[in-house]
Amino acid sequence: MQFRQFYLGCLSHASYYVGSDGEAAIIDPQRDVDQYIAEADAHGHKIKYVIETHSHADFVSGHVELAARTEAQIVYGERAATKFPTLKVKDGDDLTVGSVKLTFRETPGHTPEGITIIAQENGETVKVFTGDTLFIGDVGRPDLIGSKGFTSEQMASMLYDSLHDKILTHPDQAEIYPAHGAGSMCGKSLSKETWSTLGEQRKFNYALQPMSRDEFVKIVASGLAAPPQYFPKSAARNLEGSPSLNQLTPPKELSTDEILSFDGVILDVRKNFEYGEGHVPNSVNIGLGGQFASWAGTLIPIGTQFAIAAANKEQVDEAVVRLARVGHETVGGYILFEKYDGDQAAVEQVSVDDANGFVTSGRNVQFIDVRRPGEYENGHAAGAESRPLDGLDRNFEDLDPAAPTYVICQGGYRSSIACGILENAGFNELYNVTGGTAAWIEAGLPVIEEGEHVQN
C-alpha cells in the first residue's frame, strides 16, 4: 500500500491517499486538489475513488473537481443527500483499490450519513479512517448541521453505538486516521497528534473509557461552543458540489482611491505587527500565519465582498485559495500595501509588562481577553475580562470606545483580529498585547484561574 496523509494546518484538516497496483483512492480531499493528482502521477496510479466520510461543515471539499479531472467515482454514505453522481455505500460494502480492500461501516453520530473506512491488506486491518466519528483524544461533536431532525442527545446516542459496535471491535494495533486534529471546531479537545492506534485511544481518549450510554451522551453533548456561522453553508455546498478554483474570477488590483471607497470588508493578511504599524483604516487583520481560513469563515458572512491588503502578490493569491476553502469566493480586488498612499490607522503593540503597568495604574483602562471561554478559565491575566473573539462584534456595547482598550489572546494573533473589529466599531485607542497570555505567564505577572484569587 502506498499511503500518505496530507495535513492542512490552517483548517486542522487531514486528507488521505491510499494506492495499490496502479489504483488509488483519495479520502476527504481539500478544495485545491492538484497535490492528489501529483501524488497519483508520481506512483503511476489512476485515482479510482474520491471518498467523503461525511458532509464536511468546516471546509468546502474538492471532490467534484477531483472526480471530473480523474474520472473517479465519488463515494458517500448511503444517507448523504448529494446532488451529483455518487456511489452510495452502506454498512458492510467493500471496494478495492489494487490489493487493498476498503470496507465501509455506517457510523452516524457526528452526522447521520457518516462512514468509517476499514483498509485491509492480506485480510489484516491496517488502517481505519474515522472521519469525524473518532478523533485522536476526542470524538465528533453531535450538534452540527447535517443532523437536522435529531437532537444532540439522539446523535450522541448514535455515536455511542458507532464507536462500540463498528470501531472498537477492531484490534489494538489498528491505526486510526481522523479527518481533523487540534484546533478544529468539530470536537471539544482534539489532540495535536494526527494519528494513533486504537489501543492508545482505548487508554487515553476520555470518550472511550468504560461508561454507560447515558453517561456518554451527557459528556459528549454538553459543553459545546456554538459552531461557526459558515458551517451550515459549507455542509450544504459539499452536498451540492463546488466549481473548480480556476473558474473563480481573479481579483483586480485597486488604487488607493478605490480601496478607500471599497464597499465591503478590507482584509489585511499581513503579520500583526505590520498591521499594527500602519494599515488601511477600518481594515481587519487576519494574518496568513495563523488559522486564517477558519477565522475568516467564522467572523465574516459567506457572500461578503472582499478586498485584500497584502505585502505582495503571492500573499494575495494564497489568501484567495484559502478563503475559497471555506466558501468565500467573493474577493473582488486587492492592493499591495507598498502602493497604498492614503491615510493610515495604527494599533500600538505593547509588551505584557507595559500592559500590566497601564492596567494597574488606576486609569480608566479596558482590558479584554478574546480567547475561548475554556482558555480564559484555565488561566488569564489579572484584570482581563472575557470577550471571546467569535462573538466580539456582538459583545462590546457596554465598553467605552473612547477609553484606552488593551486586547490580549494567547500569542497576539487573535487579539490583532479583535483590534480590527473594534476599530471598525469606533474604538480609537487600541493596544495589542504582544506575546499574549503565554508571554504574560512567562513574565510571572499576576494570573487568575477559575475559582482562584490572583497568583504570581
193-206 tens-digit pLDDT: 999 999 999 999 99
CA 453 centroid distance within chain: 34
CA 385 centroid distance within chain: 25
Confidence at residue 147, expressed as pLDDT on a 0 to 100 scale: 54
State the Cα–Cα distance between residues 384 and 366, nearest whole angstrom. Answer: 8
CATH class of the domain defined by 2-239: alpha beta
pLDDT digits (tens, 9 = 90+) for 17-65: 999 999 999 999 999 999 999 999 999 999 999 999 999 999 999 999 9
Confidence at residue 148, expressed as pLDDT on a 0 to 100 scale: 65
Cβ count near 171 (within 10 Å): 10
pLDDT digits (tens, 9 = 90+) for 361-393: 878 899 999 999 889 999 999 999 999 999 999
Confidence at residue 41, expressed as pLDDT on a 0 to 100 scale: 98
State the Cα–Cα distance between residues 259 and 250, nearest whole angstrom. Answer: 16
Confidence at residue 190, expressed as pLDDT on a 0 to 100 scale: 85
Dihedrals phi, psi of 51, to nearest 5 degrees:
-110, 130
Taking phi over 0 as left and psi of -120 to 50 as alpha, with beta for the rest, 63 belongs to alpha
Nearest CA to 14 among 75, 73, 58?
58
CA-CA-CA-CA torsion sign (182, 169, 109, 328): positive
Cβ count near 15 (within 10 Å): 22
| CATH 3.40.50.720 is the classification of domain 248-339 | no
Question: To which residue does cell 475580562 refer?
Answer: 385
Nearest CA to 200 among 224, 178, 223, 222?
178
Question: To which residue does cell 480609537 refer?
Answer: 428
CA 191 centroid distance within chain: 14
Amino acid at 250: P
Confidence at residue 189, expressed as pLDDT on a 0 to 100 scale: 76
Confidence at residue 222, expressed as pLDDT on a 0 to 100 scale: 86
Buried b (16+ CB within 10 A) or exposed e, 108-145: bbbbbbbbbbbbbeeeebebbbbbbbbbbbbbbbbbbe
Against a cut of 0.75, is the pTM above it?
yes
Confidence at residue 456, expressed as pLDDT on a 0 to 100 scale: 35
**Ranges under pLDDT 50 in the chain:** 452-456
State the Cα–Cα distance between residues 323 and 213, nearest whole angstrom. Answer: 40
Measure the CA angle with vertex 218, ends 215 and 224; round to 5°.
145
Every domain range in the chain assigned CATH 3.40.250.10: 248-339, 348-448
Counting residues of the chain whose pLDDT is more than 70, the rounded percentage is 98
Taking phi over 0 as left and psi of -120 to 50 as alpha, with beta for the rest, 264 belongs to left
Q: Which CATH architecture has domain 348-448?
A: 3-Layer(aba) Sandwich (3.40)
Confidence at residue 317, expressed as pLDDT on a 0 to 100 scale: 97
Give 82's Cβ-side CA count (13 Å radius). Answer: 25
